[in-house]
Structure 1
Amino acid sequence: MKPKTKLQMEIVNGSRKLAPVSEAQKRYAYKHCFVHYFKRDAKGNCFCLDCGHTWRDKEDKKNCKCPHCGMNLKLENSRKRTAVYKEYFCVITTYKQYQVIRFFMVDCRLKKGSPANYFIIEAVQCWMNKEGKTETLSLLRGMSIFYYDAWIYGSSLELRKRNVHHDRIYDICPAVIYPRMKVIPELTRNGFKGAFYDICPSSFFMTLLTDNRMEILYKAGQMNLFLRFLERKYGIDKYWTYVKICLRHDYVIHDAVLWLDYVDMLIENKLDARNPHYLCPLNVEEAHDWVM
């Protein structure tokens, strides 16, 4: 897709100026994206699948450390001589006033008796301005009904359309996020402190930048409610009046699913759902059983 707006042109030009993945980032991805294995045969010969080193150890260990490369290894019991693993690695950085989330596909190929062969390529870039306006650049994908991430490695990063059907393709939950990250000042202002709680970084950032109610929940430490409404965004409109009462009384909701069901039953039984006596019980399970 050709860039048409001023925002798209700035993003495409900025993408070309981003630094390639560094050697330090590659080493971090190779080390932390995968579980590292070793094999043992019946004679006690051990084979490190990371560096290819072979040594003898007749003890029946499930975990060990390679005497050559020092990698912590886990026993792999299958008889397969080769294996291929793929994971996503994420680098979070900035370019001028834009937040940039870069997703890399990391390919690991293992063969008994040989060093592991790693390969890394940038598959998706998510660009976001301070208002939460998002544009996505990615590689081309192969047509498949089973896999969303069948990236064509020979293609180049280009602007792609985003809609309801494509969000699940580009909203990637990476296996590892590089710990050295840069964020725009607006995210720091809105409470971001470095933790993603196993949420896709692009969805997490866009939520903090575009929804002030979710920002309030995040800053108030109502993480259970935050995660629930992030999963089902339509629910926040229905329950926001009752959530505000809890916030005014410093009531922390630890089980969002149970508490929301409890509120529904208060309304259904025509009890005063806006009364903190009912809305902020000391024991939600007992209050839920009582209303039921």
Structure 2
Amino acid sequence: MIPKTTIEKEITRLSASLAPIQAQVHTWAEKTVFLKWGVLSRGKFYCLECNHSWKPDHANEACAKFIKCKACAGKLKMQDCNRVYFKEIEYSATLDVYAGYQVVRIICSHKHMKKNCLPSYFHKEVMQHWINVQGEVRSMSISTNVFSHTYDQWQYSLPFWNSPKKFPKLPQIPNQSLQSVPQ
């Protein structure tokens, strides 16, 4: 929505002048938010974190849900299917104080993994919640694909927009009992 009130115009102006999220937050998310994954392919274990591969020691080791990587000592959750590419999406948030507002900045982080390759990461701030002294909350977010049947469909190339303070009430459908139709 286009900012109309003075508060929305002020928040839009302040949002444009916010400092970018520090790289420390992104490295923290890469280490702590994401799971460490492993995959069993053609009789070998592959660590999708450190790019290490090894043969299992025991036959029952292949059936475990978690396994420990021998190189990076990470506890790997085993993928249940064998694919070439693996993707994980997680969210994290930071709390800032800026111009008398508490700003909750929500970050969508992507991790792309492939066997025999180190993982790559992508981080994008997707939403901001501005909380004033009285406790009123105003939100800004980037747009999403409206007709998508999945979540996490952010349109990263678009700027932040003001979200409505109160969503319009949808018409209520009266609760009617189902009546049997004569045949």
TM-score by length of 2: 0.77
Letter paired with 1:163: K
Q: Give the direction of change, closer, same or farther, for the CA distance of 1:72–1:18 in structure 2 (3 Å limit).
A: farther
Q: Which moved more, 1:20-29 or 1:33-42?
A: 33-42
Higher relative contact order (CA 8 A, sep 6+): 2
Write the deviation string for residues 35-54 of structure 1: whole angstroms up to 9, x where unpaired: 211123454x3211123222
Q: Between Structure 1 and Structure 2, how many residues are aligned? A: 165
Normalized per residue, the structure richer in helix is 1
The answer to whether structure 1 residue 137 and structure 2 residue 136 are counterparts is no
Matches within 5 A, 1:20-59: 20-43=20-43, 45-59=44-58
The 2-side partners of 1:75 and 1:148 are apart by 24
Write the deviation string for residues 146-186 of structure 1: whole angstroms up to 9, x where unpaired: 235421011111223243469xxxxxxxxxxxxxxxxxxxx
Contact 2:41 2:82 (C-alpha < 8 Å) held by counterparts: no
Q: Give the number of the structure whose alpha-carbon radius of gyration is greater.
A: 1
Letter paired with 2:26: K
Aligned to 1:266: none
Normalized per residue, the structure richer in strand is 2
Q: Give the direction of change, closer, same or farther, for the CA distance of 1:58–1:85 in structure 2 (3 Å limit).
A: same
What secondary structure, in the 3-state scheme, does the structure 1 residue paired with 2:81 have? coil
Matches within 5 A, 1:79-118: 79-118=82-121
The 1-side partners of 2:75 and 2:155 are apart by 33
Aligned to 2:19: 19
Contact 1:85 1:108 (C-alpha < 8 Å) held by counterparts: yes
Question: Structure 2, unaligned stretches of length 5 or more?
Answer: 170-183
Matches within 5 A, 1:115-264: 115-144=118-147, 146-164=149-167
Letter paired with 2:133: K
The 2-side partners of 1:50 and 1:149 are apart by 23
Query: Once the 2 structures are TM-superposed, how far is the Cα of residue 113 of structure 1 from its aligned partner?
Result: 1.5
In angstroms, what is the RMSD of aligned CA positions?
Answer: 2.4
Letter paired with 1:19: A
Letter paired with 2:157: G
The 2-side partners of 1:122 and 1:57 are apart by 40
Query: Once the 2 structures are TM-superposed, how far is the Cα of residue 67 of structure 1 from its aligned partner?
Result: 4.0
Letter paired with 1:80: R
Letter paired with 1:17: S
Q: Give the direction of change, closer, same or farther, for the CA distance of 1:145–1:42 in structure 2 (3 Å limit).
A: closer
The 1-side partners of 2:46 and 2:144 are apart by 36
The 1-side partners of 2:79 and 2:153 are apart by 27
Contact 2:40 2:82 (C-alpha < 8 Å) held by counterparts: no
Q: Percent identity?
A: 27
Aligned to 1:71: 74
Q: Give the direction of change, closer, same or farther, for the CA distance of 1:6–1:74 in structure 2 (3 Å limit).
A: same
Q: Give the direction of change, closer, same or farther, for the CA distance of 1:97–1:53 in structure 2 (3 Å limit).
A: same
The 2-side partners of 1:148 and 1:77 are apart by 22
The 1-side partners of 2:160 and 2:71 are apart by 39
Query: Once the 2 structures are TM-superposed, how far is the Cα of residue 96 of structure 1 from its aligned partner?
Result: 2.5
Letter paired with 1:147: T
Q: Give the direction of change, closer, same or farther, for the CA distance of 1:85–1:56 in structure 2 (3 Å limit).
A: same
